[in-house]
Structure 1
């Protein structure tokens, strides 16, 4: 079994695209294929000690899901995972947002994942600097940095690969990733 599990929630497919970009950089022994949180079981999620979680941001900074016009996603997934103990597990988070259209809640969806996994005992790694972005506010900024990798595919798509590579290099020592 792969040692890193990757789970994502999405509304438009962009988070899935980024999860696949990450996966392409690693073999099946190291990292499992990315799974949409709405298509996974508690057992699948719990079986990994190293997790990469990805999300988009919807509305006024919420996680995707719980909407009549969207598929189940993180909101429902976190309810399903309510009894999971993440003590001893290490989690890295990436989030997508649009800093031009939604500058008041840029990548704020990451905060919902961050708060959940921290409350469940996980160690979160992979905080990311806020420099290089133009936004007004984000719930995902803690101690002056994002709680995970912030990506804007709408306005800064040309920076995605280099940001992914730098972030993966940053978390590599903890996740046992080749540098």
Structure 2
């Protein structure tokens, strides 16, 4: 079985694309095929000690899900299934997509919601990313000038995605045992 699980929520498919870009860099022994949380069983999710989680931020800073007008169930519906699980001993890194121009007051807020959920359940969270170079006004996902995970803006800064993703994967490589 692969060592690292990659799970994502999505609405437009962009978060899925990033998850697939991450997977493309690693073999099947190291990293499993990315799975949408709306097609994931709790036992499969919990079978990994290392998790990379992806999410877009929808509307006014919401996790994707039906109440955020997503077309399908997503993180909003999956997280309640995990409420009674312990994440002690699990290492989690989060990446999030947002639009810092159209939504400058809640850019990548969904990273915060995932971070808080898993931190409250004992996970070790890694992968903070500097806010330098971004043009948003506010984000719940910022602590001490760092995002709580990798922030990507495919709408306005898609040219920076590959560089940011590569740098972020290098930054979590020791925590995940990645060969970078």
CA distance in 2, matches of 1:40, 1:81: 11
CA distance in 2, matches of 1:149, 1:30: 21
- TM-score with structure 2 length normalisation? 0.97
Matched residue, 1:97: 98
Matched residue, 2:123: 122
Matched residue, 2:30: 30
Matched residue, 1:106: 107
CA distance in 2, matches of 1:79, 1:130: 30
Taking a change above 3 Å as real, the CA distance of residues 69 and 93 of structure 1, as seen in their structure-2 partners, is closer
CA distance in 1, matches of 2:6, 2:136: 27
- State the 1:69 CA deviation: 5.3
- State the 1:143 CA deviation: 2.4
Cα-to-partner distance string for 1:43-87 (whole Å, 9 max, x where unaligned): 011000000000000121110003365200000010111111101
Unmatched segments (≥5 aa) in structure 1: none
CA distance in 1, matches of 2:114, 2:143: 13
CA distance in 1, matches of 2:101, 2:76: 25
Cα-to-partner distance string for 1:90-117 (whole Å, 9 max, x where unaligned): 0000000001111010011111100000
Matched residue, 1:14: 14
Q: Does 1:61 align with 2:58?
A: no
* Equivalent pairs, count: 179
Matched residue, 1:174: 175
Which has the larger displacement, 21-30 or 58-67?
Answer: 58-67
CA distance in 1, matches of 2:12, 2:84: 28
Q: Does 1:146 align with 2:116?
A: no
Unmatched segments (≥5 aa) in structure 2: none
Cα-to-partner distance string for 1:4-38 (whole Å, 9 max, x where unaligned): 00100011100000000000000000000000001
Taking a change above 3 Å as real, the CA distance of residues 53 and 69 of structure 1, as seen in their structure-2 partners, is closer
- TM-score with structure 1 length normalisation? 0.98
CA distance in 1, matches of 2:60, 2:121: 24
**RMSD (CA atoms):** 0.9
CA distance in 2, matches of 1:143, 1:92: 18
